[in-house]
């Protein structure tokens, strides 16, 4: 069965409900390597501003046979998180996810599928919007177009204004997956090898969370409520145990560009990053 973009676009929004607990908020923070007490201790607990990526998360949907996707070759392409209200640390959250748009880069280049998830509390407060782009490396050539894909945010052509490095743990992916992304690519060496990697890679969204920690430390005084938006493109995988250095450029009042690289291999792993903050 091949990818059917019309089927995806016509699908009804997927509604996912989650009973959020302080334990889940802490587990997410540990999954992105946090050790600062406000993020990992229930007394005065604060949610990291990147946690919406796992709130009311519908799971790794590409393994569903009705989608016709070669799920072993799926990579995370882009993520954007917009924060509309203070993030809760407990209570029910409701996500509604919808596919689209979809871009065909060609039979030998794959396809890009965007998904938008709105997240509300049980009493109707819209707390966040998450937009993801999945790179379906084995599913291009279905007759669609590559035109119209959103343009990436440009990185300034000058040295970074700020840098912040964070080491990841050897078991980082094994912790992060407990927040809901059980793609075996991040745990099973055989699956990783079949996908062309020498060993399991870190979730792209875990790398995103590490860079988010760097951004709030460098720009927001580690006050998570000050971050209003964070966008990024994923350019290369991280292996657990590597060090991620986030490079940041000021772009005016309350705005900045960023990217992240693995120090040990000098490889850019996140690119075209953009943040808005108070």
| Residues 237 and 202: beta-carbon distance below 8 Å | yes
The number of C-alpha atoms within 13 Å of 171 and in the hemisphere containing its C-beta is 4
Which residue in the list 76, 120, 164, 186 is annotated as catalytic? 186
| Residues 108 and 68: beta-carbon distance below 8 Å | no
∠ Cα 227 228 230 (to 5°): 85
Ranges of each domain in the chain = 5-277
How far apart, in whole angstroms, are the C-alpha atoms of residue 118 and residue 82? Answer: 10
pLDDT of 1 higher than 80 = no
Q: State residue 188's pLDDT score.
A: 96
Which residue in the list 201, 230, 244, 248 is annotated as catalytic? 201
Task: Decide if 70 is catalytic.
Answer: no
pLDDT of 75 higher than 90 = no
pLDDT in tens, 98-156: 999 999 888 888 889 999 999 999 999 999 999 999 998 888 878 887 788 888 999 99
| Residues 52 and 127: beta-carbon distance below 8 Å | yes
How far apart, in whole angstroms, are the C-alpha atoms of residue 104 and residue 6? Answer: 13
- For the segment 89-94, the average pLDDT, to the nearest whole number, is 98
Task: Return the SS3 of 103.
Answer: strand
- For the segment 224-251, the average pLDDT, to the nearest whole number, is 97
Task: Decide if 204 is catalytic.
Answer: yes
Range of weakest confidence among 95-99, 179-183, 257-261: 179-183
Task: Decide if 186 is catalytic.
Answer: yes
How far apart, in whole angstroms, are the C-alpha atoms of residue 242 and residue 272? Answer: 21
- For the segment 86-107, the average pLDDT, to the nearest whole number, is 94
Q: State residue 131's pLDDT score.
A: 97
Q: Is the dihedral of CA 199, 205, 206, 211 positive or negative?
A: positive
How many CB atoms are closer than 10 A to CB 166?
A: 17
Q: State residue 270's pLDDT score.
A: 98
pLDDT in tens, 158-204: 999 999 999 999 999 999 999 988 889 999 999 999 989 999 999 99
Task: Give burial (CB, 10 Å; 0-12/13-18/19+) of 121.
Answer: middle
b/e code 247-274 from CB counts within 10 Å (16+ = b): bbbebeeeebbbbbbbeeeeebbbbbbb
Q: What is the CATH number of domain 5-277?
A: 3.10.129.10
Q: State residue 143's pLDDT score.
A: 80
122 or 73, higher pLDDT: 122
Task: Decide if 181 is catalytic.
Answer: yes
Which residue in the list 181, 209, 231, 248 is annotated as catalytic? 181
Cis peptide before 101 (omega within 30 of 0): yes
- For the segment 28-40, the average pLDDT, to the nearest whole number, is 98
């Amino acid at each position: 069965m091949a990818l059917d973009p019309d089927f995806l676009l016509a699908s009804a929004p997927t509604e996912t409900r989650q009973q959020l607990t302080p334990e889940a908020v802490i587990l997410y923070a540990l999954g992105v390597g946090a050790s600062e007490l406000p993020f990992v201790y229930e007394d005065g607990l604060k949610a990291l501003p990147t946690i919406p990526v796992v709130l009311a998360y519908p799971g790794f949907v590409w393994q569903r046979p009705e989608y016709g996707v070669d799920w072993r070759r799926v990579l995370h392409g882009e993520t954007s998180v917009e924060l509309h209200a203070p993030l809760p640390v407990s209570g029910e959250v409701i996500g509604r996810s919808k596919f689209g748009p979809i871009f065909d880069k060609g039979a030998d280049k794959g396809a890009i599928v965007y998904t938008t998830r709105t997240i509300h509390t049980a009493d109707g407060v819209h707390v966040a919007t998450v937009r993801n782009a999945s790179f379906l490396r084995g599913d291009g050539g279905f007759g669609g177009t590559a035109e119209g894909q959103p343009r990436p945010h440009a990185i300034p052509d000058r040295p970074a204004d700020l840098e912040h490095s964070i080491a990841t743990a050897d078991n980082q992916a094994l912790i992060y997956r407990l927040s809901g992304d059980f793609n075996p690519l991040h745990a099973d060496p055989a699956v990783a090898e079949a996908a062309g990697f020498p060993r399991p890679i870190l979730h792209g969204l875990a790398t995103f969370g590490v860079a988010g920690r760097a951004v709030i430390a460098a720009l927001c005084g580690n006050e998570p409520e000050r971050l209003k938006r964070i966008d990024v493109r994923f350019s290369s995988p991280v292996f657990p145990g590597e060090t991620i250095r986030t490079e940041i450029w000021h772009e005016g009042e309350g705005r900045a560009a960023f990217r992240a690289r693995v120090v040990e291999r000098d490889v850019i792993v996140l690119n075209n990053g953009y943040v808005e903050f108070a």
